[in-house]
Structure 1
């Protein structure tokens, strides 16, 4: 149970970090004056444009996720291509997370655990419906749906000054959602910090903290080396054939296991 929860939280955080980048590629937070230098909104606009101009990307991230059993650390190699194609290969100090491969192509998705030799198959609508059947996971599913619907509109971006990430000059920009009385749009429980490269305007590090009902997750992802922009990516990266002998579970056939929500420690 603990390993399943940790796997889920790790994949969830990676998904939220990527979702944050995707969401901000199309929407601009409200401007907030800064004493010196670009405003937070100006920096976010520059980052949005840099991301939107890229049709494909290849990068490696160092990540850390808070879990009830302690922090989970590792790396994620990411291949992404518009529209809606991603491949994420995880390496971690935690055996249940190490070797996990997640592939999405439009609404179709696969997740493979090398340790368990297990493949999970689901499309997006099926995954959402399965999450909705699990009382323990409804809060997570509801949060993700709201973030996707609201995007990064009606937010406040504040330039908190210069910072150095892996030897690169960046600006630290905190983005928070403004309060709303509409329960379908309520997202005050998420805090995101982007470290935006002063030269390329690409994010070099993303920190996220989410508190939604009984569900809390914290962590970060930081770029290792250079972000490769607009590479020609093999179409085979975004398909997945289960290895011979691997167990294959289609989420249409079985309910998801219960997950016990947990208050997680701060990750620094």
Structure 2
């Protein structure tokens, strides 16, 4: 097994800088917000945001390439490995400078590229490039990988040795995924819709059943202490508004997922899970009110 170093760029420093800046911004913002539900959403966002950031920081720090007689490997995150058999490589090409295209999921474009990108005239690429100074695109079946070795000539010589072809890729447009016919996506959409319906309808059912007290808290501070009170009817309408907000968020995220589905079905799933997370936060907030005040 022989190892090839990736080009030492500024990917880790840039991602770390963005992480610290965003954490500081939200920390300052939270000092001026005294609404429980808004702070809950911000806190959940920060948790997932920092996990996302940590993933790419570790990926940037641990990324390396290697090869043996039969395969080329992309190694990262302490043991995760992408194996690319030489016999399955259709072609490769080399580009220099900014990645021209759309970042679907991940980080970078100008100086480095980590994650999933749609690159013009090439297609959807899984990028493992800590620098865009020299990027080698490797086409393997229907998949394309992008790497940035410190010594491009070493990788080029390796590919020549294995009789691989250097050529400009012909972009093959993939068939758009019809989300409404995808079982996984339909189940996820149905689950989100059911949660939003519960948040909207259940308060009215409880109110009409006489289970909601005459006096109910309408708004809460950051410590879940009531700020204002109203009638049971006003409480039901307030919760209905939360359901309406959820619906608006859901439709916005759904159309974003529809747009990204032409590039990647997995990205569409990830985007819809954001709507699922937000709807669950509203549901848990409502359940906490029921447990405490009903």
Range class of TM-score, shorter chain: under 0.3
- Normalising by the residue count of structure 1, what TM-score does the alignment of the two structures yield? 0.26
Decide which structure has greater strand share.
1
Q: Which has the higher contact order (CA 8 A, sep 6+)?
A: 1
Task: Looking at secondary structure, tell me which structure has more helix per residue.
Answer: 2
Q: Which has the larger radius of gyration?
A: 2
TM-score by length of 2: 0.24
